[in-house]
Amino acid sequence: MKKLGIYIHIPFCESKCYYCDFTSGVSNNDVISSYADAIVREINEFDSTGYIVDTIFIGGGTPTSVSSDIIEDIVLAIRKNFVLSLVEFTIEGNPNSYTKQKLDHYIRLGVDRVSVGVQSLNDKVLKAIGRVHTSSDAKLCLQLLMDSGLKVSADMMVGLPYQTLDIVKRDAKMVMDSGIGHVSCYSLILESGTKLASKVANGELVLPSDDDAVDMYDAVMYIAKGYGLNRYETSNFGVPCQHNVGYWKLKEYAGFGVSAHSFNKGVRYYNTNNLQDYITGNKYIIDEKPTLAELASEYMMLSLRLDQGVDIEDFKSKYGDKSYNDMMSIAKGQAEYLHIDNRFISIKPEYSYISNSIIEKFI
Amino acid sequence: MSNRQDNIRNFCIVAHIDHGKSTLADRIMEFTETVSKRDSKEQLLDSMDIERERGITIKLTPVTMKYHYKGEDYFLNLIDTPGHVDFTYEVSRSLAACEGAILIVDASQGIEAQTLTNAYLAVDNDLEILPVINKIDLPSARPDEIKLEIEDIIGLDTTGIPLISAKEGTNIEQVIHQVIDLLPPPSGDESKPLKALIFDSVYDSYKGAISLIRVVDGNIKIGTKIKFMQTDKTYDVTEVGIFNPKMIPCEELKAGDVGYVCASIKNVADTKVGDTITLAIGGTTESLPGYKEVSPMVYSGIYPADGARYGDLKDALERLKLNDASLMYENEVSVALGFGFRCGFLGLLHMEIIQERLEREFDLDIVTTAPSVSYNVIKTDGNMLVVANPSNLPSAGEIEYMEEPIVKASLFSPPEYVGTIMDLCQDKRGVFLDITYLDQRRVRIDYEIPLNEVIYDFFDTLKSRTKGYASFDYEIIGYQRSALVKLDLLLNAEICDALSLIVHRDKAYARGRIIAEKLKEVIPRQMFEIPIQASIGSKVIARETVKAMRKDVLAKCYGGDITRKKKLLEKQKEGKKRMRQVGSVSVPSEAFMTILKFDK
């Protein structure tokens, strides 16, 4: 039996954040319920022979913004069509849409990990990026989640308008004071076509410089370490998220829902990112059937984001001597930026925030 | 019957840029019904897009017009001339093909630098000059004052001078009548052996290099065995004809005629402007005067932005050279830019035109290095070296001294800009020669300025500081000993050869500082800190630093979209590939262009 991770995309939100360029938006209940039907249909059509599901991740959008009954329908479909042996079942959501009732329902469905998009605990910052919640919503939510006894993760962002190093430090401490076991910290990427991009372009908002954003990130990393949350991947600290680690280790996964990506049975494919098309009978789109050499370079691209780095023996056994020799010679050319020992190749911590320039050499 | 040459007039139109030369040529062609108004695109004689866009003419295209006047049929050969200083030699050969010239003066701007240069060139070639005042339709026209300027400054009689508007077609007939009445007919001898002046050449992919000629003596027809006196090559004529304005074959061209000759000549370089065509057997031994080998004045390196397109660039230069014998190029290898060419141009405009044509007509992205002039380097061993590429300069220890080309610059301007202009010339190491107040509105200022200063930003700065009112012309007057040094730019301690410059010692510090500052702006941050240094020899005179990059991470792969992430990385990698490697430093192509601009 091969292990499989399942990703469910819930593209609905109470409102769209200004920086967001994902498939997500505001919809009414009829659309939501026919969308759930479409996901259930897609799950049922998946040939699960030979797979055992060990992680589920329900992401979005804002999965907590829809009725938990919708989530139940989807989970029941998964349970019906797949063999499960879960080590982790995560749902993510917003500070103002987690409720005690929903949490109890999620727990009954088997959820054991909750992730919350805090981003910042500064109201001026939150407003500038179009978040619908306030900092006190977030603090109350963190309390609620911690009290549930589930594993809790919080997303934070740096490089946001009005953010200063002091604000970020204060926010990070407040988040970690809750006793949380996992934090993700992302640096804002200004995507073209977003509301934030136009506000920056017309001068309405100013972003901190890249250097300042890196200082903020470094501060979060330093503070996290003080709370025992060690970095294990470029943007992640604490007890590793098994589902995401699956992506980084090229484990097979099946994504259900609009714009979801999948990699299983040797094929990468993805669903349409048009919600109506998806509901009326989506045909997935084949992306590529990666060759062994391509898989080897993807393995490098993904593993080098992990602090542990590339497991040399694992790499060699999966991709053979030629790929191994090629990889080692590139690695030696980059020795200045890498830590290489008998078992692992990893990017030196001081270069982790410019990892792309190192990783690109391997692809 | 009267001599056939009595019914021929060979003339050109000369003017300062924008005074309406091409428009007048168009009107004359319409008036003589050589072209119908319907067919007439604006300014028919300018055949290249770039020329039309800039309103300047570079390529000469003659036209033969038939006109009935006072009971006689006249053949009027109009030879257009380029108005720019880069092409002075070509202008002089075109003038040599004529007996007269129409000199256009703008009714509001009056005499400008090139009005005078061209008028003097015409006088030097013994041409009868027919002044006309154009643009009288403008509200700011002041024809009476301009008449006085023409009389005082050029010394031409303005009695009966046509006051015209080429744009509106006013008084064009008067101009044509004066061409016939006042300009002399040709006076060659048809019975003498053939003697014809090549005043231009064009390339045709079917007919090969075509010589544009003025027959001085004798005649030429299909089958004539001809000899080019400079190249000493002989050919059989395959076609002769006239321009109308398209090429129309005819039986023969005789003394006094203007037309073209095809003789299966492969290369325009074999049909040199200014050369004399005669008979291969029994021809004249005396060539027409005035022939000169054209030599480039300005040089620059041209490289493909994408090294893989070297072959395309080579092909493009070969194609341009087919039609432009004055373009010179040779292979050059730069450590920073790879394989490319060192190109020689007649002047700055010529350089810009070639660069633009490479980009537009051949769809090439090119990197050009800073323009250079050619220096005489006198070495300690007594040998002299001519250096047009700063990288080829011998080490300071081997150089006894250096010489640089000097121009005499004439600047025309309203009096209020005299101070500004003198400041500019002084700043460009100019030596003041003379100042003349032509009238209340115009001053002429003469300076000697090193060409090396003129080729950077002199013209642009002059135009911007005088709000476009000043005009400028120059001629090379010789070489002068000068304290020149080689300014190198180092990136991460390695010299970037494509950025090296030869400059005057006194200018080196300021220029080094400006270039270092500009490079800091255009070189992206990389994984390590990059010191940028400007140096003379081993002495560092300016330093900037590009700080190490701190952030280039991409967002997490949401929902496992690994393909997108991979594509972004590949795109980033691709972007870096397009940059040039100077040692360990990646340098974007535009960095090499920054040193071309020196606005302070």
Rounded to the nearest angstrom, the gap between the alpha carbon of residue B132 and the centroid of all alpha carbons in its chain is 26
Contact across the interface for A186 and B555, Cβ inside 8 Å: yes
- Rounded Cα gap, residues B565 and A319, in angstroms: 21
The conformational region for residue B584 under phi > 0 = left, psi -120 to 50 = alpha, else beta, is alpha
- Rounded Cα gap, residues A2 and B546, in angstroms: 50
In this structure, what DSSP letter does residue B194 have?
P
Which SS3 state, helix, strand or coil, does residue B55 take?
coil
Q: Residue written as tokens 């946001």?
A: A160
- Looking at beta carbons, which residues of chain A come within 8 Å of B556? 184, 186, 235, 244
Q: Determine how many CB atoms are found less than 10 A away from the CB of residue A7.
A: 24
- Looking at beta carbons, which residues of chain B come within 8 Å of A244? 556
Contact across the interface for B566 and A298, Cβ inside 8 Å: yes
Which strands make up the sheet holding A338-340, listed edge to edge?
A: A310-311, A344-347, A338-340
pLDDT of residue B1: 39
pLDDT of residue A178: 96
In this structure, what DSSP letter does residue B84 have?
S
Q: Could you tell me which residue, A171 or B475, shows the higher pLDDT? A: A171
CB B405 within 8 A of CB B297: yes
Q: Residue written as tokens 């950077």?
A: B456
State the pTM of this model. Answer: 0.72
Beta strands B128-134 and B100-106 are parallel
> Which residue, B111, B160, B177, B75, is CA-closest to B410?
B111
B529 touches chain A (CB under 8 A): no
CB B345 within 8 A of CB B296: yes
- What is the arithmetic mean of pLDDT over B419-431? 95
Angle between helices B310-323 and B348-360 (to 10 degrees): 120
pLDDT of residue B52: 47
pLDDT of residue B405: 95
**Residue B55 banded pLDDT, cuts 50, 70, 90:** very low
Residue B268 structure tokens: 């325009």
Q: Residue A167 pairs with which residues in a beta bridge?
A: none
pLDDT of residue A116: 97
- Looking at beta carbons, which residues of chain A come within 8 Å of B574? none
pLDDT of residue B123: 87
From residue B397, alpha-carbon distances to A7, B379, B400, B423, B559 in Å are 72, 9, 8, 35, 66
- Sign of the torsion angle spanned by Cα atoms B444, B81, B175, B138: negative
A170 touches chain B (CB under 8 A): no
Q: Residue A8 pairs with which residues in a beta bridge?
A: A58, A256
Q: Residue written as tokens 């800091």?
A: B520
**How many residues make up chain A in this entry?**
363
CB A207 within 8 A of CB A161: yes
- Rounded Cα gap, residues B495 and B518, in angstroms: 17
Residue A292 structure tokens: 């062994």
Beta strands B276-279 and B225-228 are antiparallel
Residues in contact with B553: Cβ distance below 8 Å, sequence separation at least 6, in sequence order: A187, A234, A235, A352, A353, A354, A355, A356
Contact across the interface for A261 and B560, Cβ inside 8 Å: yes
Contact across the interface for A7 and B560, Cβ inside 8 Å: yes
> Burial, B180: exposed, middle or buried (Cβ in 10 Å; 0-12, 13-18, 19+)?
middle
pLDDT of residue A336: 92
Of residues A22, A253, A337, nearest to B558 (C-beta): A22
DSSP A6-55: EEEEE-B-SS--TT--SS-B---HHHHHHHHHHHHHHHHHS--TTEEEEE
Q: What is the pLDDT of residues B300-357, one digit of tens each?
A: 999 998 888 999 999 999 888 877 878 899 999 998 889 999 999 988 778 888 888 8
pLDDT of residue B84: 66
B477 touches chain A (CB under 8 A): no
CB B179 within 8 A of CB B127: no
- Rounded Cα gap, residues A361 and A358, in angstroms: 6
3-state DSSP: chain A helix, strand, coil percent, rounded to 5? 45, 25, 30
Residues in contact with B254: Cβ distance below 8 Å, sequence separation at least 6, in sequence order: B4, B190, B215, B218, B219
How many H helices and E strands in chain B? Answer: 14, 32
From residue A262, alpha-carbon distances to A266, B285, B352 in Å are 10, 87, 54
Query: φ, ψ for residue A155 (rounded to 5)?
Result: -90, 135
3-state DSSP: chain B helix, strand, coil percent, rounded to 5? 30, 35, 35
Q: Residue B544 pairs with which residues in a beta bridge?
A: B532
Which SS3 state, helix, strand or coil, does residue B375 take?
strand
Min CA distance, A142 vs chain B (Å)?
23
Peptide bond just before A61 cis, omega within 30 deg: yes
- Rounded Cα gap, residues B370 and B392, in angstroms: 14
Q: Going residue by residue through chain A (363 aa), what tens digit of pLDDT does each one get? A: 899 999 999 999 999 999 988 777 788 899 999 999 999 999 999 999 999 999 999 998 899 999 999 999 999 999 999 999 999 999 999 999 999 999 999 999 999 999 999 999 999 999 999 999 999 999 999 999 999 999 999 999 999 999 999 999 999 999 999 999 999 999 998 888 999 999 999 999 999 998 999 999 999 999 999 999 999 998 999 999 999 999 988 899 999 999 999 999 989 999 998 999 999 986 778 777 889 988 999 999 999 989 999 999 999 999 999 999 999 999 999 999 999 999 999 999 889 888 888 998 998
**How many residues make up chain B in this entry?**
600
- Rounded Cα gap, residues B118 and B103, in angstroms: 8
Residue B278 structure tokens: 């005669």
B574 touches chain A (CB under 8 A): no
- Which of B10-24, B77-91, B364-378, B491-505 is least confident? B77-91
- Sign of the torsion angle spanned by Cα atoms A227, A229, A230, A235: negative
> Which residue, A222, A239, A260, A224, is CA-closest to A60?
A260
- Rounded Cα gap, residues B252 and B234, in angstroms: 19
- Sign of the torsion angle spanned by Cα atoms B330, B331, B335, B339: positive
Sequence letter at residue B85:
V
Residues in contact with B296: Cβ distance below 8 Å, sequence separation at least 6, in sequence order: B326, B328, B343, B344, B345, B346, B374, B388
Domains of chain A: 2-247 (3.20.20.70), 291-363 (1.10.10.920)
Residue B520 has pLDDT above 90, yes or no: yes
Exposure pattern of A197-228 as b/e (b: 16+ CB <10 Å)? Answer: bebbeeeebebbebebbbbbbbbbbebbeebe
CB B232 within 8 A of CB B188: no
Measured distance between the N- and C-terminal CA atoms of chain A, rounded to whole angstroms: 31
Peptide bond just before A240 cis, omega within 30 deg: no
This complex has an ipTM of 0.81
Residues in contact with A218: Cβ distance below 8 Å, sequence separation at least 6, in sequence order: none
Beta strands A252-256 and A236-238 are unpaired
**Residue B45 banded pLDDT, cuts 50, 70, 90:** very low
Q: What is the pLDDT of residues B181-232, one digit of tens each?
A: 999 999 999 999 999 999 988 888 888 899 999 999 999 999 999 999 999 9
Residue B42 has pLDDT above 70, yes or no: no
Contact across the interface for B563 and A268, Cβ inside 8 Å: yes
Of residues A214, A259, A302, nearest to B551 (C-beta): A214
- Looking at beta carbons, which residues of chain B come within 8 Å of A270? 561, 563
Percentage with pLDDT > 70 across chain A: 100
Q: What is the pLDDT of residues B120-159, one digit of tens each?
A: 888 888 999 999 999 999 999 999 999 999 998 888 999 9
Q: What is the pLDDT of residues B25-37, one digit of tens each?
A: 889 999 998 776 5
Q: Residue A233 pairs with which residues in a beta bridge?
A: A236, A306
Residue B56 has pLDDT above 50, yes or no: no
Window A:218-257, CB contacts with B under 8 Å: 234-235, 244, 247, 253, 255
Residue B192 structure tokens: 């003498």
pLDDT of residue B198: 94
Q: Residue B341 pairs with which residues in a beta bridge?
A: B302, B331
Sequence letter at residue B498:
A
Q: Residue written as tokens 């300690």?
A: B380
Residue B581 has pLDDT above 90, yes or no: no
Q: Could you tell me which residue, B52 or B7, shows the higher pLDDT? A: B7
DSSP B215-264: EEESEEETT-EEEETTTTEEEE--EEEEESSSEEEESEEETT-EEEEEEE
B545 touches chain A (CB under 8 A): no
Q: Best interface-test mutation with A: which of B525, B545, B546, B566 has the largest number of A CBs within 10 A?
A: B566
CB B592 within 8 A of CB B369: yes
Q: How many CB pairs under 8 A join A and B?
A: 91
